[in-house]
Amino acid sequence: MASPFLATPGKRVRLARTDPDHAAGLRDKDEAKTRLDADLERLRRLQRLLYADGGRALLVVLQAIDTGGKDGTIRHVMSGLNPAGCVVTSFKAPTSEELSHDYLWRIHRAVPAKGMIGVFNRSHYEDVLVVRVHDLVPRKVWKARYRQINEFERTLTENGVTILKFFLHISKDEQARRLRDRIRDTSKNWKFSEADLAERKLWNRYRAAFEDAIHECSTPWAPWYVVPANKKWARDRIVARIMVECLEGMRLRWPKPKADLSRIVIR
């Protein structure tokens, strides 16, 4: 499941040539739900193993253009996990305190502890995306951040944090449909912002920034996956399957008891 969506290190991704409607071999929504349910059950068991093992952590990074489905992915894939072992962090515009430190300071503070799954809704990649598109820092500053991010992520992986990075890829037409839906559906009105329309005008600039970030920062130790996300049911199943395969690859085992349980008698 993982390989068709893996951004191969060193190979440039062209998002305009990447099909956001790809269904990952799934026939329809019903088949996707059946497979997703099985993966989520497996994911719950693997989470318990990760928590019990206590020697490693999993960090899931979600990035997308506006309406790309980060919240939906968290709701459908992560909501079944035990909240005692899973922490979701949403990164908004930096606070004054955060701006008084280097841009990775707030990120490092949110990295999951060993035994935990951490999910980033947006991440340190905003500092090579938004700041680039809106010219918030000079080019030489954001270009240097690719190297800094790779070194940061390598440090994390060498210290027991496995990193999965997902770019949720939607088309411009799909974004328009989702924005219209936010206007029509009163239960979604609160999600609509006129700022989204301003950002939409920068579509091509964002696409170029995402392509460069994926190209520069998909590494053997922290790969990017480009997930087709027009079909939400396919998106959810792809993300869940990759997470399952990643955790299975850790070959986690239940820890041995600290005492000889055969000698313990409870009266």
In degrees and rounded to multiples of 5, residue 6 shows phi and psi of: -70, 130
In a domain, 229, yes or no: yes
Q: Per the domain annotation, does 64 fall within a domain?
A: yes
What are the tokens at 109? 């503070």
Q: Is 99 helix (H, G, I), strand (E, B) or coil?
A: helix
What is the distance between the alpha carbons of residues 105 and 103, in angstroms, rounded to a whole number? 6
For residue 261, is it within any domain?
Answer: no
Distances in whole angstroms, Cα of residue 177 to Cα of each of 2, 148, 170, 182:
28, 37, 11, 9
C-alpha dihedral (158, 45, 8, 67), degrees to nearest 10: -110
Q: Distance from first CA to last CA of the chain, Å, rounded? A: 50
At residue 260, φ and ψ (nearest 5 deg) are -80, 100
Residue whose tokens read 């990760």 = 50
- Structural domain that includes position 164: 3-250
Per the domain annotation, does 207 fall within a domain?
A: yes
Domains held by the chain: number: 1
- What's the gap between Cα 131 and its chain centre? 20
pLDDT of 28 reads 93
pLDDT averaged over 10-residue windows placed end to end, the chain, 267 residues? 84 94 93 95 96 96 96 93 94 95 98 98 97 96 98 98 98 96 93 91 97 98 98 97 96 85 82
| CATH number for the domain that contains residue 176 | 3.40.50.300
